[in-house]
Homo-oligomer: A and B are copies of this chain.
Amino acid sequence: MTGLLEEWRRTHYTKNINVNLVNKEIIVMGWVHEIRDLGGIIFVLIRDRDGLIQVTAPSKEIEAELLSQIRKLKKESVVAIKGTIQESSRAPNGVEIIPNTIKVLNEASQPLPMDPTDKVRAEIDTRLDSRFIDLRRANVNSIFKIKSKMLHSTRTFFEENGFLEVNTPKLVASATEGGTELFPITYFEREAFLGQSPQLYKQIMMSGGFDKVYEIAQIFRAEEHDTLRHLNEAISIDMEASFIDDIDAMDTLEKLVNKVIVDVTVDCKDSLKTLDKELLLCECPFERLDYDDAIDMINSKGVEIEWGEDLSRAAEKALGGMMEGYYFLTGWPTEIKPFYVMPNKKHPEKSHAFDLMYKDIEISSGAMRIHQHEMLVEKITEKGLNPDSFDSYLKAFDYGMPPHSGWGLGADRFTMSLTGVNNIRETVLFPRDRRRLTP
C-alpha cells in the first residue's frame, strides 16, 4: 500500500549528505533557499530542518526540460529533488547534488511577507506575525531545538531519579494563591479559572503517597505586565517530593540545571554555535546567598531596598551585576512569600523559601512547605484569604500529609539562560501577552 506521496520519500537529510555518498542517488526534500542563475550553470540551495545542500545544474549536462523547471523555481517553494551526489570544492559542505528529477510539492507565493534568511533584522512583532517564516531562520529555530532538548533532558532527569509524571487540572474552581491574577472562564453554568500553578495539586499528590512527582505544563497568569520576562501563558517545570526539605530541593534543582547544560552542550552543538553561545557548568553546590546579605549588597550599589521588600527590577539588576551565572537566594521573609511556605522555626519572620536566579532573572521558586493543617489555616487567614475556599486542599493535610518540598522552574526563562536571548518572546513559539493572541 502506498499513500498520496507515491514512491517519493526523503532518503537523506542535508546534514547526513557527505563524501561517502558520492555517485549515489538520493532524494532530498525541503525549501528553495536561494537560486543563483549564472547562465551556463544554476545553483540552487535547498534547506531542510538542519541545514543546506547545493544543487548544481550545469546547463550543458542537464536536460532542457529539467533546466527550464529549475529556472522557474521560486524562493521558499517546497521541492523534492532526486539526484546524484558529486564531490565539489565550490559547494559549502564539499558535496553537491546533480539533479535528475525535481518535483515541486508546493509553490510559494511571491513576494514573501518577510525575508526568511538571517540577513535582515526584523522587529519582533513583524516576526511573530509571520512566525512560520521566522522559524525557518537558523538563529530562530536553534532556540527551539535547545528548548526541546532541555525539556527532554529534564524529564529524563526526573525519571532517572524516581519521579512520577503527573497531569493536574488546568480548569480550577478557585484561586491557587489567592491572587487576582486569574483568567476567568465560563464552565457550563459556572465560573471557573485557569490554573496559575499546579502548586496545590502537586501538594495533594504528596498526601496521595506519590512521594516524588513532576509535571511540565502550561500555567496562565492574567498579569498586566509588559516586560521582556513575563508572558500570560508559560510552561512551568514543577516538582514536589515528600520527606525532603528545602536544602534537598535545592540540591535536586542544581543537579538538574547541570545535567541540562551537559545534554544541551553535547546534543545541540550546531544550535549553540549558531547562537554563538557557550554553556558553562556551575560548581555544586551553587552559591547560596541569604536574603539579608542580598539586601546589603543591593543597598551598597545605591539601589534602595528595605528588609522585607520583594526585589524590584532595579534591585535584581544590581544583584545580577554582582553575581555570576546561577545562584540561590535563600532565607526569604515569610511575609512576601505564599501562605504554603514553611517559616523558620527559630526566626519565623524568615522562611524556608528559595529562588534560583540566573544573573538578574528569577528562574525558579521553591520552598519547604507547611504540612501541618493548623499552621496552614493560620497562614491562609493571615494573608486575608478564606480557608473555606481551600477546603479540598486543606482536607489533604488532615489525614496523613508528609513533610514535603518542591519548586517550579520557568521553562521559558530557563531557555533564556540557555540560549542567551533577552526577550522571553524569543523562547516561545506563539507567545501570549496582553496585546497578542495570534497567530
A interface list, Cβ under 8 A from B: 1-5, 9-10, 29-31, 47-49, 76-78, 80, 105-106, 108-109, 112-113, 129-136, 141, 144-145, 147-148, 151-152, 155, 159, 164-173, 183-188, 190, 192, 194, 201, 204-205, 207-211, 217-218, 220, 222, 224, 232-233, 235, 242-248, 288, 342, 345, 352, 368, 371-372, 392-393, 395-403, 411, 428-432, 434, 437-439
Contact = CB atoms under 8 A, between A and B. Distances in A.
Contact of A4 (B31, B77, B235, B246): B246
A199 B274 CA distance: 30
Q: Which of A224, A372, A437 gathers most chain B CB within 10 Å?
A: A437
Contact of A167 (B3, B204, B428): B428
Nearest to A242: B29
Given A3-B368, A168-B430, A210-B49, A205 B135 contact: yes
A192 B436 CA distance: 11
A194 to B, nearest CB: 7
Contacts of A211: 48-49
A185 B184 contact: yes
Nearest to A130: B395
A209 B392 contact: no
Contacts of A371: 105-106
Copies of this chain, whole number: 2
5 closest A-B pairs by beta carbon, nearest first, are A3-B245, A135-B208, A392-B439, A3-B247, A76-B400
Contacts of A437: 171-173, 187, 190, 192
B204 A4 contact: no
A205 to B, nearest CB: 7
Nearest to A50: B211
A132 B204 contact: yes
Given A5-B245, A144-B164, A31 B400 contact: yes
A184 B183 contact: no
